[in-house]
Amino acid sequence: MMYFVGFFLVCLVISMIGVASNPSAYFGAGSLVVGAGMGCGVLVMMGCSFVSIVLLLIYLGGMLVVFAYSVALSSDMFPETPGSGTVGYSFSGYVLFVVVLMVINGKEGLVSLGVEGVDSYGLSMIRVDLGGVSLLYYLGGGNLLICGWALLLTLFVVLELTRGLVRGGLRAV
């Protein structure tokens, strides 16, 4: 199982490097989708299946809709592909940076995986992620409202920035 977690973590780091190194929104979105899937895979392997599915549904269902709107409104006639020179140099620089961080941290690598999936108290078993969700709504309700408001504001800001000089609902592409 630890091999699967290591595989998911390596794929997650590579996809996040792909997001950071691609100046084109099209290819960055593909890397972002793969990164979200790999992050959810890491959470599933560590026993947090409920948090993983909520993350996948909210992230891919909500934030990528904003991305789809902004890509549809942007006009990138010749996007840079992942195989082009500048993207390749940028990608290799980020990979080198990650390798240097792993060498500096030594045996622990980038992440220590000390998360337990299930706590047992006598005869009852409580899943850690379900207990965290109830605490999130109990103690963090105000923070959830602030985060929802910030996401709505981000939607309007992104749409305003990608609209450009064209005013109105219809425009020639």
Q: What is the pLDDT along the chain (173 residues), one digit of tens a residue?
A: 778 888 898 899 999 998 888 877 777 778 888 888 898 888 888 777 777 888 888 877 776 776 776 677 666 677 777 778 888 898 999 999 988 888 887 766 555 544 444 455 555 555 656 666 677 777 877 888 898 898 888 878 877 776 666 655 555 55
Residue 164 confidence (pLDDT): 61
Q: From the CA atom positions of the chain, what is the Rg in Å?
A: 20
Rounded CA-CA distance 30/55 in Å is: 17
Q: What is the pLDDT of residue 11?
A: 92
Strand partners, 120: 125
Which residues, 6 or more positions from 53, have their beta carbon under 8 angstroms from its beta carbon? 40
Backbone angles phi, psi at 105, to 5 degrees: -75, -15
Does the pTM surpass 0.75? The reply is no
Instruction: Quote the pLDDT of residue 28.
Output: 78
CATH code of the region 2-74+85-163? 1.20.120
| Domain coordinates in residue numbering, the chain | 2-74+85-163
Q: Which long-range contacts (CB under 8 A, 24 or more apart) does 147-156 make?
A: 151/62, 151/63, 154/66, 155/66
